[in-house]
């Protein structure tokens, strides 16, 4: 509510040349962000959800496999990356605002893709683990 009042009083923000330059540099730097964390969390989350769903529910746990792929990607998108300190902080406010927005947009997209891929890998591993648990519990496989 307060934000809408502030926008109504101040008007829409203007995207001048400095903002656009900061935005493009932020996009570039956000693309270079390492993805080990989001991918690893995707694998862990996917394996945990899929393995738990299949092991506890059997075939009925199939929706857990879909959730195992999608939920880590949603979590990867929700995490707002913060750019490292650097020369961009010495620029004008418009440049800094554009830089942060571009960085976060680029990095979030990459994090979401890495989390989605990790979730898919984790879902496969978790499903295999859940099936193995069921087969061992039923006595089909003797460890």
Q: What is the pLDDT of residue 37?
A: 77
Structural domain containing residue 121: 38-80+94-143
Distances 72 to 47, 53, 123, 129 between C-alpha atoms, Å? 11, 15, 11, 19
Q: How far apart are CA 45 and CA 79, in angstroms?
A: 15
Question: Is 115 inside any structural domain?
Answer: yes
Question: Is 59 inside any structural domain?
Answer: yes
Q: What is the pLDDT of residue 38?
A: 78
What single-letter DSSP state applies at residue 83?
P
Instruction: Kindly report, residue by residue over 79-115, the tens digit of the pLDDT.
Output: 777 888 888 888 888 888 898 999 988 888 888 888 8
Q: What are phi and psi of 82, to 5 degrees?
A: -115, 125
Q: What is the pLDDT of residue 32?
A: 82
Q: What is the pLDDT of residue 109?
A: 86
Q: What is the pLDDT of residue 31?
A: 83
Question: Is 47 inside any structural domain?
Answer: yes
pTM recorded for the entire structure: 0.70
Question: Is 20 inside any structural domain?
Answer: no
Closest C-alpha to 59, from 129, 120, 127? 127
Question: Is 33 inside any structural domain?
Answer: no
Instruction: Kindly report, residue by residue over 57-75, the tens digit of the pLDDT.
Output: 776 777 777 777 777 777 7
CB 100 within 8 A of CB 26: yes
Question: Is 21 inside any structural domain?
Answer: no
CB 21 within 8 A of CB 99: no
Q: What is the pLDDT of residue 14?
A: 57
Residue 18 tokens read as 């400095």
Q: What is the pLDDT of residue 8?
A: 47
Count how many domains the chain has.
1
Question: Is 74 inside any structural domain?
Answer: yes
Instruction: Kindly report, residue by residue over 10-59, the tens digit of the pLDDT.
Output: 444 556 788 899 999 999 988 887 777 778 878 888 888 888 777 777 76
Question: Is 109 inside any structural domain?
Answer: yes
């Amino acid at each position: 509510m307060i934000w809408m009042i502030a926008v109504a009083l101040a008007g829409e923000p203007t995207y001048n040349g400095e903002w656009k330059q900061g935005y493009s540099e932020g996009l570039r730097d956000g693309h270079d962000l390492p993805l080990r964390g989001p991918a690893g969390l995707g694998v862990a989350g996917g394996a945990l959800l899929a393995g738990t769903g299949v092991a506890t529910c059997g075939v009925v746990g199939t929706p857990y496999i879909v959730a195992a792929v999608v939920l880590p990607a949603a979590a990867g998108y929700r995490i707002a990356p913060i750019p490292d300190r650097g020369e961009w902080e010495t620029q004008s406010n418009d440049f800094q605002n554009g830089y942060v927005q571009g960085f976060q947009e680029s990095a979030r997209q990459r994090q979401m893709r890495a989390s989605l891929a990790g979730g898919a890998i984790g879902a496969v591993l978790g499903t295999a683990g859940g099936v193995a648990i069921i087969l061992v519990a039923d006595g089909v496989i003797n460890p």
